[in-house]
Structure 1
Amino acid sequence: MNFFPTPYPDEILYSTLGRYSIRSGNLKEIHNFEDLFSTRSSIATVELPVKLDALISNMPVDTLYTAEYFVKHHTLFPYYAAFIPPERAEEIINAMKDGNGSLTYIKLGLVSYSIDLNQYLRFCPQCFKEDIKIYGEPYWHRIHQITGVFICPKHKTPIYNSKELIRAGNRQRFINPTSDNCIVEKEIQYTDKVMEKMLWMAKDIDNLLKGGFKHKDQEWFKSQFRAKLIEKGYARMNNYIHQKKLKQDFQEFYEQEYLDLVQSPLSDSSQCWLSTMVRNNNRVTYALRYLLLARFLEIPLDTLFHVKLGWNTNSNNIGLKSIDSYKELWQERLKELAELNLSVREIATILNSTPKTIRKSIDELGITPFWKYNGGGRYIKKKYIETEEFKTKRRRSRKKWGELLDKYPDKSSNQIRQDHQSLYRWLSKYDIDWLRQHARKNKGRRNNVDWKQRDEELVVKVKQVVKEMQEGKPERITWTTVGSKLGVSGWMSKRKDKLPLTKQYIESVQESLQEFQIRKIKWGIKQLEKEDMEITLWNLVEVAGVKPRYMKSIKEDIKKSLLESGYECNFL
């Protein structure tokens, strides 16, 4: 190339290459790719462009641009890779430099997060006008192209979809913003509450793009979040997390409308992204979710990356600098309390912990207690079940259970158990044979079920589960899979006739094996588009996970799906 346009502030590289294409004088668009990358096989990628080394080698003589400069200042890498370890970040930069496009999306986890990237190039009407006034032409801004950004942080106004699809049609051309494709057909209105949260997120993401934050290992972020979770009462030092309270407060803070918009709703499942994120694991999740949690815990972005968080207790106690120092002090205090001959429960209360954690810590620290843990008693030479205290407890517990059976003749043992958990647990642990002999089954229990009400409540939950299954990575929709996700597969399938609403809905959406394979193929096409991978039979089958024995029966359906997505199917 004998010239190259100067990138504008916050201009995405795709836009700069588009401006080159306008000025190049090439009659065919494919010739622009030869100029830029010395190849005709490249694809115009918006988020994470590749073959940057080839681009630099084709630059005018004595150019000051480098591949690293473009990656950090004119692509979405600083955002998508903000929370990944340094080693992986380096691998992704190298992949962007040498041209391995699919590797960048895989290593960033954009395939596995079930996050739908933007379908259209996006613009801010105010920026569009301002760019023409200042630079004589509009351009695509980085911040506007990020999934989860709905507000321009500069003008505090909504951003809009252009008419140009990112992953459709001819992928070997660069599309520039114009007055024809950047039209506001209908103004978007958000509520004040949602607008406030959108502005928070837009500003945080803008800071990530511009801030040059250094990459950290997951252990760093895990420690930062854990410190704040403990400080705010959502976690204990024993790694216990108050998941239910955390979810409730998080949901209340952001509200459902906003969480749905940023593709981060909270489910009741233990595999909910928030639950998984605060557990003791090293999995990287979508960058926006780190920002959601940081904002909720009131951790400024600079602090999150640069300041090691700890706890500050009241003025009479020692300021704690880290989890390790806190743990060390906690253990010293535990040793002191054990020497005072306090009970496990008393120590747990003083240390704001649980008896189970105290027992575990005593064993780990090698503390020799003056008591033995046998049924809660303090016995050295005898087992708990050999003591008079145990015999007295057993006698009273049996008597109490018998009285409850007499008092509630129409209730089963399980129904009585609901209001007398402590008694039932003790008998289950120490007198299970006697308890089984004195258990009662309620033969009329099934007749007491209000199946109409149960059906009405169940069908709502089933619809939500099916929606999640249809939107995420393909899972076959059947009675069994739906029931398993709800934890009721044991009886739901057996009671179909008593659940007419549920039955009618599941039968309307359940899939045959062939229908399921076709849905996997359609999902696979979208995944390959996200990764900018070539659509070949092998790639499609591998990503979609379709077994060879099904290929013959769905061959025509694969052709149809490919044609609908604008692809040739000569390889079939």
Structure 2
Amino acid sequence: MAVLNFPIPYTEELMYSTVARAGVRQGLTSPKQLLDEVFESRSIIATIDLPNHLATLSRWLPEEYTPDKLIYSHTLFPLYAPFVPEARRLQCMNWLYQGTQGAAHLALGIAASRIKSPRFIRYCPGCISAQREQYGEYFWLREWQVAGMASCSEHGVLMDTRIARPLIERHRFIAAAPEHCLVTKQQKGMGVSDWISTQVRRLLVRPAQASPSFEQWTEHYRSLAYRQGFYRGKAQVDHSVIKNKVLKVWPAAWLIRNRLMPPSSDIDDTDWLKVIFRKHRKSFNYLQHIVVHQALLDSHWQIDDVLYEVSRKPTRKTPQQVKVVMQKSNSQTPDQEAWFALLSSCPPKQARKTSPALYARLYRNHRDWLLDVNHRHAQDKTNPNVPRIDWDKRDREYLQALRQQAMFSEGKSTRTQALKNLLPQAAGQSLPP
């Protein structure tokens, strides 16, 4: 069965918007009916930034609209792809081809990121007016929904619709329309927004490329601090100088609004601005990379040049990395692959708290596999030569507790005997009048 009159995606249009326009063209008012027509399934979640089942959508489009093209030209995946390891990038693309239950958001760090998505679907009144003149209809652009972008560089501040994110009706694709996108006068955007939009647009139009490793990102930031002279001695990064540079370039109100303000205490080891200049064990958000490079480089820097420089850094794979890649290459269910992605960034106990629903499904359907993977992962993180329990300390604590219990029991026995001795005397005395 073919979907009649399925629309061709416009340049920079979200795939979510294209599916919504398909419902308008077919006159479908029921969300379930649209899901039946397009996906042949009623369990699809209408996802704005990283939709899945793109292999199904590509069937209704011309041959040049491959799943890869849909991912890189009509989703927000290019914003995150360069900053995660290559194995994870490929795995996330595979999840977007098929169907996932939020696994891509977990693996890309979006679910746990300090930078939150906009609360409402947004639009630019100036761009909406231009769409109506050129195409005769509205559609949602990718850059309108990017966290950190508050304005259109051509027209001004972006406006919020009343469509909340995440969507209240999880299965409804809502098309851009006059009732949602009022054409009003826009305020002029801040210069900071232009910095963000310049780099975001370059990320969005980047073709599919292999991602640098954590090791390469670590070396890049060490080299960046060294070139700028932000070192104390020979090996210690001067984090206070970097912090002052960031605060000098970026407005404090903007940093606070986007949860990127460094803490006031210089001894806080959880400060993201410090962690990004240390050994990378997790990926950082595109906005964090932009903030650092805008503050430390000249105003003409480009994110493309940075990514090219990072990709040229030397790298090597540790035995643990090779083991994880081999494990991921085996045929696994999407849930098992999602669990591997979580374990690459956190221990099993934290992964269980991060995604309890995923853990429950795996425990119910793949219990032996789950317990074995968690056990092996915990062993990899533990040094077998270091005892997990300080037995001498435990014996001292137990001895002290036993002594206190003995003293308490002895005192209680003495008080009981004294009370018994007093009872016969009290029984022979009459009460006072």
Shorter-chain TM-score range: 0.5 to 0.7
Secondary structure of 2:27 counterpart? coil
In structure 2, what is the equivalent of residue 210 of structure 1? 205
SS of aligned partner of 1:133: helix
Partner letter of residue 193 of structure 2? M
| Alignment check: 8 A CA contact 2:129 2:183 kept | no
- Which structure exhibits the higher relative contact order, with contacts defined as CA atoms closer than 8 Å and separated by 6 or more residues? 2
Kindly report which structure 2 residues correspond to 1:29-40, keeping only aligned pairs within 5 A, or say none: 29-40=31-42
Aligned in 2, Cα 1:169/1:537: closer, same or farther, shift over 3 Å? farther
- 1:260 and 1:14 mapped to 2: Cα distance? 30
DSSP-derived class of the 2:41 partner:
coil
Q: For 1:286-435, what aligned pairs fall within 5 Å after superposition?
A: 286-298=285-297, 299-307=301-309
Unpaired stretches in structure 1, ≥5 consecutive residues: 310-320, 325-523, 540-572
Listed one character per residue, the Cα deviations across residues 495-534 of structure 1 (whole Å, up to 9, x for unaligned) are: xxxxxxxxxxxxxxxxxxxxxxxxxxxxx9xx98xxxx98
Structure 1 CA distance for aligned equivalents of residues 183 and 229 of structure 2 = 46
Alignment match of 2:215 (pick from 219, 224, 227)? 219
1:323–1:11 Cα change, 3 Å: closer
Count residues in correspondence. 315
SS at match of 1:172: coil
Q: Distance in 1 between matches of 2:256 and 2:187?
A: 17
Partner of 1:182: 181
- Tell me the CA shift for residue 91 of structure 1: 0.5
Q: Which runs of 5+ in 2 are unaligned?
A: 316-352, 362-433
| Alignment match, 1:84 | 84
1:64 corresponding residue in structure 2: 64
Query: What are the residue-to-residue correspondences of 1:494-513 with 2, within 5 Å?
Result: none
Bigger Cα displacement from structure 2, 270-279 vs 253-262: 253-262
Alignment match, 2:229: 233
Counterparts in 2 of 1:110 and 1:220: CA distance versus 1, 3 Å:
same
Q: What does the per-residue CA deviation read over 1:364-419, in whole Å, with 9 as the maximum and x for residues that have no partner?
A: xxxxxxxxxxxxxxxxxxxxxxxxxxxxxxxxxxxxxxxxxxxxxxxxxxxxxxxx
Match of 1:113?
Answer: 113
- CA distance in structure 2 between the partners assigned to 1:322 and 1:7 by the alignment: 37
Structure 2 residue 53 is the aligned partner of structure 1 residue 51: yes
Counterpart-to-counterpart distance in 2, 1:166 and 1:261: 18
Shift of 1:56: 2.8
Amino acid corresponding to residue 180 of structure 1 in structure 2: E
TM-score by length of 2: 0.67
Q: Is 2:261 aligned against 1:265?
A: yes
After TM superposition, give the deviation of residue 75 of structure 1 in Å: 0.2
Residues 82 and 213, structure 1, Cα contact 8 Å, conserved in 2: no
- CA contact 2:15–2:74 (8 Å) conserved in 1: yes
| Greater mean deviation of Cα atoms: 266-275 or 237-246 | 237-246
Identity of aligned residues (%): 23
CA separation in 2, counterparts of 1:323 and 1:94?
27
CA 1:45 to 1:322, structure 2 compared with 1: closer, same or farther past 3 Å? Answer: closer
Tell me whether 167-176 or 129-138 shows the greater mean CA deviation: 167-176
Alpha carbons of structure 1 residues 139 and 114: separation in structure 2 relative to 1, 3 Å? same
Q: 1:114 Cα deviation (Å)?
A: 2.9
* Segment of structure 1 superposing worse, 134-143 or 168-177: 168-177
Question: How far has the Cα of 1:308 moved from its partner?
Answer: 5.9
CA change 1:237–1:17 in 2 (3 A) is farther
Matched with 2:166 is 167
Q: Is the Cα contact below 8 Å between 1:294 and 1:300 reproduced in 2?
A: no
Alpha-carbon distance between aligned partners in 1 of 2:233 and 2:176, rounded to the nearest angstrom: 53
Q: Deviations over 1:474-512 (max 9, x none)?
A: xxxxxxxxxxxxxxxxxxxxxxxxxxxxxxxxxxxxxxx
**Which letter maps to 1:303?**
D
Query: Is this contact kept in 2: 1:226–1:235, CA < 8 A?
Result: no
> Please, which of 17, 20, 23 is the counterpart of residue 21 of structure 1?
23
Matched letter for residue 293 of structure 1: V
Coordinate RMSD, CA, aligned: 2.8
Aligned to 2:136: 136
Task: Return closer, same or farther for 1:36/1:9 CA change in 2, 3 Å cut-off.
Answer: same
**2:68 is equivalent to residue 73 of structure 1:** no
Tell me the residue number matched to 2:149: 149
Runs of 4+ in structure 1 displaced over 6 angstroms?
Answer: 321-324, 536-539
Q: Distance in 2 between matches of 1:126 and 1:105?
A: 31
- Tell me, in whole angstroms, the C-alpha distance in 2 between the residues paired with 1:174 and 1:151: 24
**Offset at residue 281 of structure 1 (A):** 2.6
The offset of 1:263, in angstroms, is: 2.3
Q: How far apart, CA to CA, are the structure 2 residues paired with 1:218 and 1:289?
A: 15
